[in-house]
Amino acid sequence: QEQLVQSGPEVRKPGASVKISCKTSGFDFTNFYMNWVRQAPGQGLEWLGIINPNDGATTYSQKLQGRFSITSDTSTSTVFMELVSLRPEDTAIYYCARDRELLDYWGQGTLVTVSS
């Protein structure tokens, strides 16, 4: 069955960077776009960006433009996100989610805490 398993929680200081992984299984990785979505404490869902694992093409939210990037590794069916120049307001649970329009399967979430 379809599974998305994310890497563990991270703690960073302001100005640092973080890279999170999302390993997929149970479906053909190259057939589905992959999204990243985050949820700040007590807040709603915010879409961050999307990648086509077939060709590596990406689209990002303007809000994080320049600080956020998504990559993928088809050999391990894994998608990655990296956020640089971290700020306290980047503290959130980060989720990967499958499919361009449906976001039908989600990872378990990765808590990133940014604090001095």
Partner 1 sequence: DIVMTQSPLSLPVTPGEPASISCKSSQSLLHSNGFDYLNWYLQKPGQSPQLLIYFGSHRATGVPDKFSGSGSGTDFTLKISRVEAEDVGLYYCMQGLQTPITFGQGTRLDIK
Residues contributing to the site for partner 1 (CB under 8 A) = 35, 44-47, 50, 59, 61-62, 95, 97, 100-109
What lies within 8 Å, CB to CB, of 13 at 6+ separation is 86, 114, 115, 116
- Local structure of 29: helix, strand or coil: helix
Q: Of 2 and 16, which CB lies nearer to partner 1 in the complex structure?
A: 2
**Shortest distance, position 100 Cβ to partner 1, whole Å:** 7
Q: Of 12 and 47, which CB lies nearer to partner 1 in the complex structure?
A: 47
- Return the closest-CA partner of residue 94 out of 79, 78, 81: 81
State which H helix or E strand residue 10 sits in.
strand 10-12
**Shortest distance, position 48 Cβ to partner 1, whole Å:** 9
**Shortest distance, position 88 Cβ to partner 1, whole Å:** 22
What is d(CA 72, CA 21) in angstroms, rounded to the nearest whole number?
9
